[in-house]
Every structure is written in structure tokens, then in C-alpha cells.
Amino acid sequence: MQERRKENKLWHEDLQAHREEENTRTQEILKAIAHLETKSMTSEEKTYITLAMKREARRETFQTAVIQKTTISLIWAMIVGFGYLFWEVLKNHLQSLLK
């Protein structure tokens, strides 16, 4: 029973230490966010961020278009391949009937 109490006490102390560490980290993060909010961006920084966002939007649009066109091309290649396969089977079957 004594051991169980010691284990519980150690576990409780570890939990307390972990909570205090979490609170410290949270406070540091909140201070950093507050510092960032008070710092105003220069016009160059705003321009750069705007251009970077536009570039990413174009890149995403381009990637989507490439993926769509690739998928459509693969589907068409599959259709053509199955058509060719069907044609060859039909041709061989008709040749075997005519012999």
C-alpha cells in the first residue's frame, strides 16, 4: 500500500511538472504572438507576401491543370488500348471463321 502511495505521489508530481512546463510554453507562445501582432509590416514585406500568395495560387492552378490533363490522357490511352485489343480479337476471330 505504501508503494502504491509513493507511485501515485510521484505520478502526481510528474503531472504537475508537465502542466507547469505546458503553461510556460503557452505563455512564451502567447508573448511571441503578441510581439508579432504589434510589429507592423513594411510595404516591401506586404508586397512580397502578396506576390508570394499570387505565385502559390498560380502554381496550384497549374498543378491542378496538369493533373487533370494527365488523368484525361491516361483514360484516353486506356480507351484506345482496349479498342485496339478488341479490334485484334475481332479480326483474329473473323479470320479463324473464314478459314
Residue 28 has pLDDT above 90, yes or no: no
Asked whether residue 28 falls in the same domain as residue 70, the answer is no
Asked whether residue 93 falls in the same domain as residue 51, the answer is yes
Q: Give the whole-angstrom CA distance, residue 88 versus residue 18.
A: 72
Asked whether residue 56 falls in the same domain as residue 98, the answer is yes
User: What mean pLDDT do residues 38-51 have?
Assistant: 81
Note the pLDDT of residue 19: 82
Total of domains in the chain: 2
Asked whether residue 13 falls in the same domain as residue 55, the answer is no
Higher pLDDT, 40 or 23: 23
Instruction: Record the pTM.
Output: 0.47
Amino acid letter, 85 = L
Asked whether residue 53 falls in the same domain as residue 88, the answer is yes
C-alpha cell at 90: 475481332
HSE of 20, CA atoms in CB hemisphere, 13 A: 6
Q: What is the pLDDT of residues 70-95, one digit of tens each?
A: 999 999 999 999 999 999 999 999 99
Asked whether residue 65 falls in the same domain as residue 96, the answer is yes
Whether residue 77 contacts residue 69, with contact meaning beta carbons closer than 8 Å, is answered with no
